[in-house]
């Protein structure tokens, strides 16, 4: 059978057919075509062989001491401590440095009584995953939402005068 | 005026700490396996697992017990992996290879010769299948790993990746074709059995 529109449609559906993710009617139509079309049957067999090889890959196992290092690092909710010189340590340092710089800025601004308070929100700093913003006498820290990718409030200054 | 930063509701209650630790002990091997297939080497997998559980711990109050915990971890890990790739792309120039006639996007093959951790990568990338997976577009790789190695259904993958079932279907199909074509091109002796229209 020549490679026509039907073959193209079938080809694009072969992975879903292989994974049994097609509705009954469509699945039956694909199966009928695959049985009668050599090119699509070869394509299907090729994808099935690849899926079998992927499914047969041995699971990668962590080092023996990984569990305890992970529990220590996450359970203590402390700075990244799994391995030395990892990129995330740099990120944490930048976050802390940014926060410190922002707090310094706020402290300086409150030491100048003649200066009016800025009511509009001012973005102080932003780096990977951490954003700081000042609005009036409030400071907000937000970070990336791990699910949506947006920002969520992490901390706010609620100290009223 | 003193400035006091007050932890908001993202702070996990102390009573949840033990529950989270229990879940972490139960799932960390599976999480590591997924991370290894996404990153292609142990060092990056450890970093990714740690980053994932740190995020999960911070947002544990938002975990819906109706969803398998591993699926929730996979979801966070998928996002953390994409974040890590974006950070790396700003730091490192990647070699690009066109994926071929299937219309898929360019591969993200790292320039191993320019990488400071080249010996470690080389020793871990001797498995053709893993090496081919490392060259896949990140979204395709995640979808294929979740389907073929973790055994998730398309609707679960869609929830994990925050996208539609139709997009998952497309990513899995295009991802498998990327993989197959790469293997045929680079390892014809071992993977010649995958040949069909080539």
| Span B9-68, pLDDT tens digits | 445 566 678 889 999 999 999 999 999 999 999 999 999 999 999 999 988 888 988 889
A65 domain-assigned: no
8-state DSSP, A133: E
Domain holding A36, by residue range, is 5-55
What does the pLDDT look like over B111-130, one tens digit per residue?
Answer: 433 444 433 443 444 478 88
Which region among A98-107, A121-130, B81-90, B102-111 has the lowest average model confidence (pLDDT)?
B102-111
pLDDT in tens, A72-109: 998 744 444 444 334 445 555 555 566 666 566 555 55
Question: Residue A64: which of B47, B125, B29 has the closest Cα?
Answer: B29
Q: How far, in Å, CA of A57 to CA of A50, rounded?
A: 11
Judge if B191 and B171 occupy the same domain. Answer: yes
Judging contacts by C-beta atoms under 8 Å, the chain B residues touching residue A57 are 37, 129-130, 149
Would you place residue B107 in the very low, low, confident or very high pLDDT band (cuts 50, 70, 90)? very low
Longest Cα pair distance anywhere in chain A, in angstroms? 86
Q: Where are the alpha helices (DSSP H) in A37-155?
A: 38-55, 66-75, 87-110
Is residue B2 in a domain? no
The pLDDT, as a whole number, for residue B120 is: 42
Whether the predicted pLDDT of A157 surpasses 60: no
Range of the domain at B103: 93-198
pLDDT tier for residue B146 given thresholds of 50, 70 and 90 = very high
Question: Based on the domain organization, do B116 and B83 belong to the same domain?
Answer: no
Q: Are residues A47 and A96 in the same domain?
A: no
Higher pLDDT, B121 or A9: A9
Given this model, what pLDDT does residue B187 score? Answer: 83
* Interface list for B 10-49 with A (CB within 8 A): 10, 12, 17, 20-21, 24-25, 28-29, 32-33, 36-37, 42-43, 45-47, 49
Residue A93 corresponds to which tokens in the numbers above? 């340092």
A98 and A50 in a common domain: no
Instruction: Tell whether B97 and B118 lie within a shared domain.
Output: yes
Clarify whether residues B46 and B143 are in a common domain.
no
C-alpha B112/C-alpha B121 separation (Å) is 8
Cβ contact, residue pair A62, B32, below 8 Å: yes
Residues A126-150: pLDDT tens digits?
554 556 656 666 665 666 666 655 5
CA distance A46 to B146: 20
Residue A150 placed within a domain:
yes
Q: If we measure between CA atoms, which residue out of B130, B107, B117 comes closest to residue B35? A: B130
Go through chain B and tell me how many residues it has.
198
- A152 and A94, same structural domain? yes
Element holding B185 (H helix, E strand): helix B165-186
Give the burial class of B94: count Cβ atoms within 10 A of its Cβ; 0-12 exposed, 13-18 middle, 19 or more buried: middle
Structural domains of chain A, count: 2
Query: Which residues are A127's β-sheet partners?
Result: A130
The reply to whether B182 and B98 lie within a common domain is: yes
Which range, of A49-58, A89-98, B53-62, B143-152, averages the lowest pLDDT? A89-98
Residue A74 lies in a domain: no
Gap between the Cα atoms of A6 and B16, Å rounded:
55
Domain tally, chain B: 2
With a threshold of 0.85, tell me whether the complex ipTM lies above it: no
Q: What is the pLDDT of residue B16?
A: 77
Residues B86, B24: one domain? yes
Start-to-end CA span in chain A (Å): 82
- Nearest-CA distance from A64 to chain B in Å? 10
Residue B15: CA count within 13 A, CB half-sphere: 1
Domain boundary among A14, A35, A55: A55
């Amino acid at each position: 059978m020549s490679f026509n529109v039907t073959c193209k449609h079938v080809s694009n559906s072969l992975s879903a057919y292989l994974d049994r993710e097609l509705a009954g009617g469509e699945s039956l139509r694909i199966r009928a075509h695959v049985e009668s079309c050599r090119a699509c049957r070869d394509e299907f067999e090729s994808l099935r062989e690849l899926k079998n090889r992927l499914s047969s890959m041995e699971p990668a196992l962590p080092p023996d001491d990984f569990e305890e290092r992970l529990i220590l690092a996450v359970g203590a909710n402390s700075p990244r401590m799994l391995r030395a010189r990892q990129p995330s340590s740099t990120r944490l340092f930048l976050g802390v440095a940014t926060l410190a710089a922002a707090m310094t800025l706020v402290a300086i601004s409150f030491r100048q009584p003649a200066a009016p308070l800025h009511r509009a929100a001012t973005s102080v700093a932003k780096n990977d995953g951490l954003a700081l913003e000042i609005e009036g006498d409030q400071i907000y820290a937000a970070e990336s939402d791990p699910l949506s990718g947006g920002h969520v409030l992490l901390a706010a200054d609620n100290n009223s005068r | 005026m003193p400035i006091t930063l007050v932890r908001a509701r993202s702070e996990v209650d102390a009573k949840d700490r033990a529950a989270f630790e229990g879940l972490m002990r139960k799932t960390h091997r599976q999480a590591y396996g997924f991370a290894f297939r996404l990153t292609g080497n142990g060092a990056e997998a450890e970093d990714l697992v740690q980053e994932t559980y740190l995020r999960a711990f911070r947002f544990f109050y938002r975990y819906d017990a109706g969803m398998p915990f591993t699926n929730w971890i996979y979801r966070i890990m998928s996002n953390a992996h994409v974040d890590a790739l974006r950070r790396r792309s700003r730091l490192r120039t990647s070699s690009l290879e066109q994926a071929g006639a299937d219309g898929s996007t360019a591969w993200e093959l790292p320039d191993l010769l320019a990488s400071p951790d080249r010996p470690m990568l080389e020793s871990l990338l001797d498995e053709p299948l893993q090496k081919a997976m490392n060259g896949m577009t990140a979204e395709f790789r995640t979808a294929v790993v979740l389907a073929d190695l973790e055994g998730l259904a398309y609707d679960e993958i869609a929830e994990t990746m925050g996208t539609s079932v139709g997009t998952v279907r497309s990513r899995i199909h295009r991802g498998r074709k990327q993989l197959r074509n790469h293997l045929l091109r680079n390892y014809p002796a071992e993977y010649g059995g995958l040949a069909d229209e080539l």
